[in-house]
C-alpha cells in the first residue's frame, strides 16, 4: 500500500485514540475548588446526632449540606465534541481488529500501556518470528532472543511516532544483554533485524486492515 496512505492512517489514528478523559473536571474536583454550598439552609452544629435503623444514633461532627445545581448553562454541553464524532469510524475499525492488531494500534498510536496489549504484541511477534529460527539453536540464545522482542516493539513504535528517533545501537544492546560487541554482531545482530521486520509487518498489516474496514463501512453506509 502507498506509504503516504499509511502515514495518513497513523495521523488519524493518533487523533482518534487520543485520551480526552481529563478534558473536564469531575464533580468532586469542582466541589473541592468552588463548593456551591448554601450553609444557611441547614445551620451547622459542632456535634449532632443522626438516627439510624434499630434505634441507634451516631454522632457526627458535620451537619448536612445543601448543594446547589452545578450546571450553569441553559443548554447542557454535548456529550461528544465534533472532532471526536468525526473520528468514530476509525475507532470502530480498530475495535473490529484481531486481538494482536488491536493491541498494537492502541499501544503504538493510542499510547495505551496496558500490560495485556504488551503481552499480545510480544506473543504475536514471537510466533511470527519463530519460523525463522535455525535448527539446533541453543536454549540460552533463544531466551536472549525472547528478551529482545519487547525492545524491538518499542524501537519500531518509537520510530513510527517520531522520525527523528535514533534506533538502538548495537553497542547499547550488547551492554543490555551483558555480552561482547563481537558476540552481538556475529550471533544476535541478524536476529535483531528480522525481529524488527516482524514488528514492521505487524504495523503495516494492522494499518492496512484498519483502512480496509473503514472504507468498507463507508461504502456500506453510502449504499444504504
pLDDT digits 0-9 by tens, 73-86: 556 666 667 777 78
Write the DSSP symbol of residue 109: T
Q: Residues for the chain: how many in total? A: 224
Q: Give the tens place of pLDDT for each residue, 74-128.
A: 566 666 677 777 888 899 999 999 999 999 999 999 999 999 999 999 999 999 8
Judged on CB neighbours under 10 Å (0-12, 13-18, 19+), 166 is: exposed
- Of all residues in the chain, what percent carry a pLDDT higher than 70? 75
Helices 189-223 and 115-129: crossing angle, nearest 10°? 110
Return the number of other C-beta atoms located less than 10 Å from residue 216's C-beta. 11
- Of all residues in the chain, what percent carry a pLDDT higher than 90? 36
Dmax (CA) for the chain in angstroms is 83
- The Cα–Cα gap between 3 and 5 comes to 5
Mean pLDDT of 43-65: 65
Q: Give the tens place of pLDDT for each residue, 193-206.
A: 999 999 999 999 99
The answer to whether residues 19 and 53 touch, using CB atoms and an 8 Å cutoff, is: no
CA–CA distances in Å: residue 31 to residues 37, 41, 138: 9, 17, 62
Is residue 182 predicted with pLDDT exceeding 60?
yes
The answer to whether residues 206 and 105 touch, using CB atoms and an 8 Å cutoff, is: yes
C-alpha cell at 5: 496512505
Only one residue has cell 459542632, namely 46
Is residue 156 predicted with pLDDT exceeding 90?
yes
Between 224 and 54, residue with greater pLDDT: 54
Amino acid at each position: 500500500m502507498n506509504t503516504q496512505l499509511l502515514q495518513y492512517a497513523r495521523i488519524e489514528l493518533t487523533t482518534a485514540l487520543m485520551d480526552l478523559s481529563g478534558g473536564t473536571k469531575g464533580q468532586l474536583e469542582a466541589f473541592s475548588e468552588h463548593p456551591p454550598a448554601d450553609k444557611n439552609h441547614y445551620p451547622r452544629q459542632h456535634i449532632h446526632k443522626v438516627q439510624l435503623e434499630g434505634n441507634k444514633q451516631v454522632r457526627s461532627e458535620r451537619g448536612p449540606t445543601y448543594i446547589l445545581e452545578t450546571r450553569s448553562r441553559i443548554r447542557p454541553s454535548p456529550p461528544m465534541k465534533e472532532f471526536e464524532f468525526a473520528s468514530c469510524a476509525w475507532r470502530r475499525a480498530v475495535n473490529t481488529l484481531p486481538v494482536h492488531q488491536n493491541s498494537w494500534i492502541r499501544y503504538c498510536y493510542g499510547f495505551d500501556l496496558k500490560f495485556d496489549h504488551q503481552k499480545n504484541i510480544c506473543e504475536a511477534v514471537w510466533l511470527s518470528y519463530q519460523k525463522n529460527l535455525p535448527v539446533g539453536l541453543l536454549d540460552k540464545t533463544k531466551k536472549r532472543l525472547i528478551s529482545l522482542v519487547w525492545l524491538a516493539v518499542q524501537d519500531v513504535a518509537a520510530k513510527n511516532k517520531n522520525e527523528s528517533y535514533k534506533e538502538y545501537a548495537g553497542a547499547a544492546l550488547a551492554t543490555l544483554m551483558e555480552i561482547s560487541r563481537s558476540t552481538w554482531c556475529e550471533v544476535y545482530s541478524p536476529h535483531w533485524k528480522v525481529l524488527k521486520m516482524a514488528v514492521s509487518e505487524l504495523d503495516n498489516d494492522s494499518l492496512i486492515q484498519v483502512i480496509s474496514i473503514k472504507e468498507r463501512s463507508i461504502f456500506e453506509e453510502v449504499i444504504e
